[in-house]
Structure 1
Amino acid sequence: MAINIIPADQPLLVQAIIVYLYADPGLGKTSIGFTGEKAISFDFDKGSHRTGELRRGAVVQVNQWADVANLTPGDLAPFNTIVIDTVGAMLESIKTHLLLNSTNKQKDGSLKLKAQGLANNIFKQYVNTLIASGKDVVFIAHASEDQNGDQVIYRPDLGGKNRNELYRIADVMGYLTTVQTGEGKHERVISFRPCPTHHAKNAGGLGGETGEVWVPDLKANPSFLADLIKQAKDHINTMTPEQLASMKAQEDLDNWIQSCAEAQYASDLNQLTESIDDQHIYYKNMRAELVKRAKEMKCEFHKERKVWVDPVEFFGINDQQLADLQAFIDERGLDAKTVCEHLGIDALNQIEASKLAAVQQEIEQLAKETINA
């Protein structure tokens, strides 16, 4: 039998895609999931009952991880779309399952660090199993609101490493929110175009130039998500594998730069470090962005522990210590400017309180050298 070889300049038809939707509370993200073609929803969040008459698909009510861990291809055969609702609750289900084994527990009842790593691996393996099923997979998440300076940022409410992993493998990713129209009405819209206020991804070309898709009345549009997925597939299938790979790689880099800029603590840098792909075409650029952000945050890399660590909190001298130090300097015939230049600082209040005694000794030595010069 001859091998079907597809040249690099020809489209590689995509039969199934990965959709990642995250939303503010109460906007009907679960109902949207049921508008997928022959959908089955894995209800980790236990909210399917709230969809009422809009529940048009099958449901697996997940009470424990074992309810879905051993599903077979035969179980999924009647369905074309698998909906995970929500990915955050799915990860928690895995962690709860691991806590049943006392060897995974710390004294306070939380998961040991090694077990947390195991939970992440199980999560990733299960996601890969769903993708390998050949079905369209829709991941639903709650939106988390983070502050970066004066900017409010919305992104999926999921741990950094897994969040970045799902972002990497998703074909399209959208933020569902509400906007006020010119008529004063509040309408739902999914934004697939990334911007400083939220994360998104759009290999499917959804929403045209704006990347915005308005959510219609789902009673009158029961195939809303199915139609979106078909539109995305049709767009992807007009592209050559080379074009698609190039676009996804650029989206990965853009998201990485945005995630680095939003990092606030060493733990954020560690999550990014864990999720970086050293085989990615833009790996060097990603690494450079990570190191750049670490320097801005004044975090250091602990070589032995192989982790980023937050800078030591600075405790400067108080007003009384500052006044006493100024008198100490005057008594030795020096001035503050000379001392600051010698210490390599801009002002005396930059001296750490814990180092005050050592600084006074250094000033004493400086005064002696100045007299003998």
Structure 2
Amino acid sequence: MAIIKKNDVTPERPVIIVLYGTPGTGKTSVSTTAENPVLVDTDRGFDRAVQRVDTLVANNWQDITNETNTLKGYKTIVVDTAKAMLDDYLSAYAVQQDPKLAYNSLKRFGRMADDFKLFVNTIRNSGADLIFICHDKEEKDGDNTKHSPDCTGQSKDLLIRIADQVGYVCKENGKRVIKFEPQDCFVGKNVAKLDTKEVPDCTSEEFPTFMAGIVSDVKKAIQSNSEATKAANELLVSLRDDLDAALNPEDFDACLEARMKLPAVYRKAFAAEVNKKAKAKGLTYNKEENKYQAAA
């Protein structure tokens, strides 16, 4: 694979989304409104969805891997549920391949993680998006209740780590919503900085393409972040050229002022560069007048 330079705009890529919530919130129905989906059913719940889609009813890990080439023909792979895939099917498969792993949970999870990441990478390399569905797990956090995807600890950490978005499906003021921004009371992940999404009624015109719209928004946001990073790096190079050419207090004042054109995350570091080079030129910063001056 070629090296992606820091100023390159990264190409659009498949995304991974995790949706979790309590039973009856319509997680499966919502997920299958993605583009050209196939449902990998490991939880025996495909017939409860509002609409039927092509479905692989899997009883073990081999049922899934045997159909990998078939799955590549779809645009979205929906796994319902991630817990059954990871904690049941993959765990059993790891022990089947090496019975000694039944007595070594650390090594067993290492094998599970390797097989899971191979599956994910194979699907993504085919250009398909992945949506993992989880039930909701409530845990006490002091006096508060915290919601998170229902997987064992290591499986959950792996799932959240590879996901671009983690959404909590719940009811708010009588309406179903998906919340991505993490809060004290629930786990979330919001790489794309999406607002809370209200789930349309299943009889509405918006519902059949609802998840496809979210996936599209995530991809656009990631692409936009890449373009913004490229622009920021190019501006930083230009400002450093100006800083290298700075000779007098006015030049350094202009460089310090120009840092405000940069994204906030770059400003402090660039200000430190300006101060270091100004000091090397024998200048000091007058905080009262907010400008550089020759050292007394």
**TM-score with structure 2 setting the length:** 0.69
Paired with 1:25 and 1:140, the residues of 2 have a C-alpha distance of 11
Which residue, out of 8, 17, 20, partners 1:19?
A: 17
Paired with 1:98 and 1:25, the residues of 2 have a C-alpha distance of 29
- The reply to whether residue 86 of structure 1 matches residue 59 of structure 2 is no
For 1:54, the equivalent position in structure 2 comes to: 51
Paired with 1:146 and 1:26, the residues of 2 have a C-alpha distance of 20
Paired with 2:3 and 2:92, the residues of 1 have a C-alpha distance of 46
User: How many equivalent pairs are there?
Assistant: 226
- The reply to whether residue 188 of structure 1 matches residue 184 of structure 2 is no
- The reply to whether residue 239 of structure 1 matches residue 230 of structure 2 is no
- Aligned partners of 2:181 and 2:193 also within 8 Å: no
For 2:65, the equivalent position in structure 1 comes to: 69
- Aligned partners of 2:72 and 2:123 also within 8 Å: no
Q: How does 1:75-224 map to 2 (within 5 A)?
A: 75-91=70-86, 92-100=88-96, 103-104=99-100, 112-113=104-105, 114-180=107-173, 186-207=174-195, 212-220=196-204, 221-224=207-210
- Aligned partners of 1:35 and 1:222 also within 8 Å: yes
Percent sequence identity is 33
- Between 155-164 and 94-103, report the one with greater CA deviation: 94-103
Paired with 1:44 and 1:6, the residues of 2 have a C-alpha distance of 37
- In structure 1, stretches of 5+ residues that fail to align are 181-185, 245-373
Shift of 1:119: 2.8
Paired with 1:6 and 1:115, the residues of 2 have a C-alpha distance of 34
Paired with 1:77 and 1:69, the residues of 2 have a C-alpha distance of 11
Residue 21 of structure 1: SS of its match in structure 2? strand
Paired with 1:150 and 1:62, the residues of 2 have a C-alpha distance of 40
Higher relative contact order (CA 8 A, sep 6+): 2
Deviation string for 1:279-315 (max 9, x for gaps)? xxxxxxxxxxxxxxxxxxxxxxxxxxxxxxxxxxxxx
Paired with 1:232 and 1:34, the residues of 2 have a C-alpha distance of 17
For 1:331, the equivalent position in structure 2 comes to: none
Residue 238 of structure 1: SS of its match in structure 2? helix
Provide closer, same or farther for how the CA distance between residues 8 and 27 of structure 1 changes in structure 2, counting only shifts above 3 A.
Answer: same
Provide closer, same or farther for how the CA distance between residues 93 and 7 of structure 1 changes in structure 2, counting only shifts above 3 A.
Answer: closer
* Structure having the larger proportion of residues in strand: 2
For 1:30, the equivalent position in structure 2 comes to: 28
- Aligned partners of 2:38 and 2:56 also within 8 Å: yes
- What is the one-letter code of the residue matched to 1:198? F
Deviation string for 1:71-109 (max 9, x for gaps)? 343x13431001111110101112233455683476xxx
Paired with 2:182 and 2:96, the residues of 1 have a C-alpha distance of 40
**TM-score with structure 1 setting the length:** 0.55
- The reply to whether residue 40 of structure 1 matches residue 26 of structure 2 is no
Deviation string for 1:100-149 (max 9, x for gaps)? 5683476xxxx543434423332333233223322111111111101111
Provide closer, same or farther for how the CA distance between residues 243 and 18 of structure 1 changes in structure 2, counting only shifts above 3 A.
Answer: farther
Paired with 1:138 and 1:48, the residues of 2 have a C-alpha distance of 15
Provide closer, same or farther for how the CA distance between residues 101 and 164 of structure 1 changes in structure 2, counting only shifts above 3 A.
Answer: closer
Shift of 1:201: 1.3
- What is the one-letter code of the residue matched to 1:85? D
Provide closer, same or farther for how the CA distance between residues 65 and 10 of structure 1 changes in structure 2, counting only shifts above 3 A.
Answer: closer
- Aligned partners of 2:72 and 2:128 also within 8 Å: no
Residue 217 of structure 1: SS of its match in structure 2? coil
